[in-house]
Amino acid sequence: MADRLQITAAAPDPALLDLPWDIPLEEWPASVLAALPRGISRHVVRFVRLSGRIIAVKEIGETVAYREYELLRALHRLDTPSVEPLAVITGRRDAHGEHLEAALVTQHLQFSLPYRALFSQQLQPGTSARLVDALTVLLVRLHLTGFYWGDVSLSNTLFRRDAETFAAYLVDAETGDLHDHLSDGQRAYDLDVARVNIIGELMDLEAGGMLEAEVDPVAIGDRLADRYTRLWDALTGVESFGATDRWRVAARIERLNELGFDVAELDIVTDVDGTTVSIQPKVVDAGHHARRLARLTGLTVEENQARRLLNDLDQFRASTERQGAPETAVAREWLTEVFEPAVREVPTDLRGKLEPAQMFHEMLDHRWFVSAEQNRDVPMLEAARSYVAAVLRGRPDEQAILGVDTAQLPQIADADVDERPAGP
């Protein structure tokens, strides 16, 4: 290892020094690699096991590596859905003293998959639309923070299951830039790039026989532009109404909450005689339901998972006639009497399949279907055991699909997955 090797990190892990930085990344031995599905990238990317966790290493020019590292750190501080940067490695030289590219090290996002890996599975109809919806929410959140992406695409995004939808995370920020706020032109350019890239990516899937037959890639690209505009207007648009209709303030907040956003501050202005009121959200953050669930139970989950778990918590409150009890006390009982026992029914060797919250969500679906089939109210633990045997064992492992490269995915047989629509 060259003496000039330099590690730049906020909290450096000494184990980084043990990695073979004197070897080009594409030649790293299998003994240090974690076989996870890789998305399409213009750079060499490898997943590595380090100190009991998995990191992603990307070879890239030194200037770009430092810039992307700082951008990702800024996004992480702003609590924006993106991968966490760990370090930049520079000063690399091979055994002959030849210069090697710098490396950007990020934390692997557990239970996430690139979009091509998702399409290797037997998924519900409408998967492409749900992925684009998730990317739309991510793009709006990035734009609200002042982040200009520059290369919006499915390839530069990772996806995690969020109940019946997906949550999207930015994974490649090398073309991005952070501003105090974005102009309409910057947002429009990002949106146009997103539409063109997504249409091209879906056409590529279509050519490989991996896209649902009824999907029109152009229509999906147009869907992103339409949904982005509607969500952006709902979050930032000014609404005027009469002073006697001030109930609409609460309705506006409720509508934003339903979109998954909290309103931290409102700008409310009345005219001179007080007959007209204008309202505009000034500070908005996603995760209204996820934050409420975390406050009540300590569980950290995605937004739609939180919505589903909160619904089950409300049903538990009603079924136990605890409507008058403190919400936090009921939540603790639900956690210890319902959620945790159900999740414990999953054998240890199957717990890498999905996140616990996603498993519980699917257990609720399974319970509904089994109860309907048997015309009785199936107890939760019985439903959990049935779910493990009938559904979970056949699912691909979303924590680590071992030995899979997305370039090889068209040759991989579809997994036998129970993807029935959710019950009420």
pLDDT tens, 373-392? Answer: 998 889 999 999 999 999 99
Q: Which of 45-59, 113-127, 261-275 has the highest mean pLDDT?
A: 45-59
Domain count, the chain: 4
Asked which of 69, 87, 107 is the last residue of a domain, the reply is 107
Q: Which of 155, 1, 204, 177 is nearest to 75 (CA)?
A: 177
Sign of dihedral through CA atoms 413, 203, 174, 133?
Answer: negative
Q: What confidence category does residue 191 fall into, taking pLDDT thresholds of 50, 70 and 90?
A: very high
The residues near 279 (Cβ < 8 Å, ≥ 6 apart) are 238, 239, 240, 241, 248, 249, 252, 266, 267, 268
Is residue 421 assigned to a domain?
Answer: no
Q: Mean pLDDT over all residues of the chain?
A: 82
**Quick one: tokens of 195?**
């539409």
Q: Which of 234-238, 282-286, 316-320 has the highest mean pLDDT?
A: 316-320
Q: What torsion do the CA atoms of 85, 90, 93, 98 make, to the nearest 10 degrees? A: 110
Task: Tell whether 303 and 382 lie within a shared domain.
Answer: yes
The residues near 178 (Cβ < 8 Å, ≥ 6 apart) are 71, 74, 75, 145, 146, 147, 148
Radius of gyration of the chain (CA): 24
Asked which of 236, 271, 299 is the last residue of a domain, the reply is 236
Are 54 and 133 contacting, i.e. CB atoms less than 8 angstroms apart? no
Is residue 420 assigned to a domain?
Answer: no
Task: Tell whether 82 and 137 lie within a shared domain.
Answer: no
C-alpha angle with apex 80: 327 to 288, nearest 5 degrees? 20
Using CA atoms, how far residue 238 sits from 132, 228, 264, 270, 279, in Å, is 26, 17, 16, 13, 6
Task: Tell whether 199 and 215 lie within a shared domain.
Answer: yes
Is residue 266 assigned to a domain?
Answer: yes
Task: Tell whether 137 and 251 lie within a shared domain.
Answer: no
Which amino acid appears at position 180 of this protein?
Answer: D
Task: Tell whether 81 and 154 lie within a shared domain.
Answer: no
For residues 117 and 63, which has the higher predicted lDDT (pLDDT)?
A: 63
Instruction: Out of 136-140, 234-238, 308-312, 407-411, pick the least confident.
Output: 407-411
Is residue 1 assigned to a domain?
Answer: no
Print the domain residue range for 347: 289-411
Q: How much is the average pLDDT of 41-45? A: 81
pLDDT value for 400: 45
Q: Is the pLDDT of residue 401 over 50?
A: no
Q: Is the pLDDT of residue 402 over 80?
A: no
The residues near 259 (Cβ < 8 Å, ≥ 6 apart) are 231, 234, 235
Residues 188, 176: Cα–Cα separation, whole Å:
15
List the CATH number of the domain containing 125.
1.10.510.10
Quick: pLDDT tens for 238-265. 777 676 666 677 777 777 777 666 665 5
Is residue 40 assigned to a domain?
Answer: yes
Task: Tell whether 98 and 188 lie within a shared domain.
Answer: no
Q: Is the pLDDT of residue 236 over 90?
A: no
Using CA atoms, how far residue 43 sits from 19, 379, 384, in Å, is 19, 50, 43
Task: Tell whether 132 and 64 lie within a shared domain.
Answer: no
Which amino acid appears at position 226 of this protein?
Answer: D
Task: Tell whether 19 and 81 lie within a shared domain.
Answer: yes
Is residue 101 assigned to a domain?
Answer: yes
Q: Is the pLDDT of residue 150 over 50?
A: yes
Task: Tell whether 183 and 221 lie within a shared domain.
Answer: yes
Instruction: Out of 84-93, 289-298, 393-402, pick the least confident.
Output: 393-402
Q: What confidence category does residue 292 fall into, taking pLDDT thresholds of 50, 70 and 90?
A: confident
Asked which of 73, 88, 107 is the last residue of a domain, the reply is 107
Is residue 417 assigned to a domain?
Answer: no
Are 414 and 121 contacting, i.e. CB atoms less than 8 angstroms apart? yes
**Quick one: tokens of 184?**
């309409």
Q: Is the pLDDT of residue 270 over 60?
A: yes
Q: Which single residue is written with the structure tokens 């003293």?
A: 97
pLDDT value for 409: 37
Are 124 and 45 contacting, i.e. CB atoms less than 8 angstroms apart? no
Is residue 284 assigned to a domain?
Answer: no
Q: How much is the average pLDDT of 308-324? A: 85
**pTM > 0.85: yes or no:** no
pLDDT value for 266: 61
Task: Tell whether 306 and 364 lie within a shared domain.
Answer: yes
Residues 231, 133: Cα–Cα separation, whole Å:
11
Number of H helices, E strands in the chain: 12, 12
Task: Tell whether 313 and 227 lie within a shared domain.
Answer: no
